[in-house]
Amino acid sequence: MKSGTSPDFELQLAVEQLHARYAHALDAGRLEEWPEFFTEEGRYRIATAENEERGLPLPVLYAEGRAMLRDRVASLRHANIYEPQRYRHLASSFLVQRVDDRVVSSTSSFVVIRVMQDGATMVFASGRYLDRIVVADMKYEERVVVCDSRRFDTLLAIPL
């Protein structure tokens, strides 16, 4: 039994902190911070459980590197039309595993509740985050969002 100050315990806390900061940034509408949670080459992909189980590669949203993530934010800010809305992320059940000296992997569950400007509230998405995190700077090298459902209501503007 390792002591409470073991490196794994600290790593667990650090990963949970990263996930929490990510969720709060999106839920507070601070989209410009979103790319900064990723490494320069970091990948972000929203997939569905159905496509993953069928071995099909189609993403709902896919970005390779921070530049593409910033493009997504710029488009949401300046190009795309969607009704004002907010998310509330609830993340839980964090499994953290060290891959090597450089990287840890993390699996966690999430629910995203979407609140429209008139107050209409719905469970918009649920699923798993499958992450590879670079330990040195605590950034996502890869974040795959596997949605439990293949169905998306109206549109998916703000990232999950």
Report the interface residues with other proteins, using CB under 8 A: 46, 48, 50-51, 54, 56-65, 67-68, 70-72, 74-75, 78-83, 150-157
Q: Which is nearer to other proteins, 51 or 105 (CB)?
A: 51
Report the nearest approach of other proteins to the CB of residue 93 (Å). Answer: 25
Report d(CA 46, CA 113) in Å as an integer. Answer: 16
Quick one: 40 exposed, middle or buried, by C-beta within 10 A (0-12, 13-18, 19+)? exposed
Report the nearest approach of other proteins to the CB of residue 16 (Å). Answer: 27
Q: Which is nearer to other proteins, 25 or 156 (CB)?
A: 156
Report the nearest approach of other proteins to the CB of residue 51 (Å). Answer: 4
Report d(CA 59, CA 128) in Å as an integer. Answer: 15
Contact criterion met (CB below 8 Å) for 45 and 62: yes
